[in-house]
Amino acid sequence: GENVEQHPSTLSVQEGDSAVIKCTYSDSASNYFPWYKQELGKRPQLIIDIRSNVGEKKDQRIAVTLNKTAKHFSLHITETQPEDSAVYFCAVHAGGTSYGKLTFGQGTILTVHP
């Protein structure tokens, strides 16, 4: 099955700095790559996603890049703010007949210091 590795497991930055989180996956047929933000005790919430026919997508301070050849994708947060502090999960959809099954990475605890 799909294997998703996420790094780093923890990331501490100063307010205003950039943060980058990386994920690799194993199945070359994977076709959908969402990123979720999860605050303590809350549900995962989609913050950005990218599909396999696109290399980069940006939404204000958040961007995702995808390298299908190398099978990795990254989340970039610029001008970080304390409210960006949360656990971030990457996920991968395997494609084919996989009915919406997402395989999640292990998560990155992002702490933004004021």
Partner 1 sequence: EPEVTQTPSHQVTQMGQEVILRCVPISNHLYFYWYRQILGQKVEFLVSFYNNEISEKSEIFDDQFSVERPDGSNFTLKIRSTKLEDSAMYFCASSETAGTGELFFGEGSRLTVL
Distance from C-alpha of 107 to C-alpha of 87, rounded to nearest angstrom = 6
Of positions 3, 51, 67, 82, contacts partner 1 by CB under 8 A: 51
Burial of residue 71, with CB atoms counted within 10 A of its CB: 0-12 exposed, 13-18 middle, 19 or more buried: middle
Between residues 23 and 77, which has the closer beta carbon with respect to partner 1?
A: 23
Q: Which window, 13-21, 63-71, 77-85, 104-112, contacts partner 1 (CB under 8 A)?
A: 104-112
Place of tokens 């599909």: 51
Place of tokens 């990457």: 90
Which of positions 72-101 make contact with partner 1 (CB under 8 A)?
Answer: 89, 91, 93, 95, 98-101
- Cα 51 to Cα 42, 83, 100: the distances in Å are 26, 27, 13
Shortest spacing between CB 12 and partner 1, in angstroms: 18
Answer yes or no whether residue 61 interacts with partner 1 by CB under 8 A: no
Binding site for partner 1 (CB under 8 A): 31-32, 34, 36, 42-46, 49, 51, 89, 91, 93, 95, 98-107
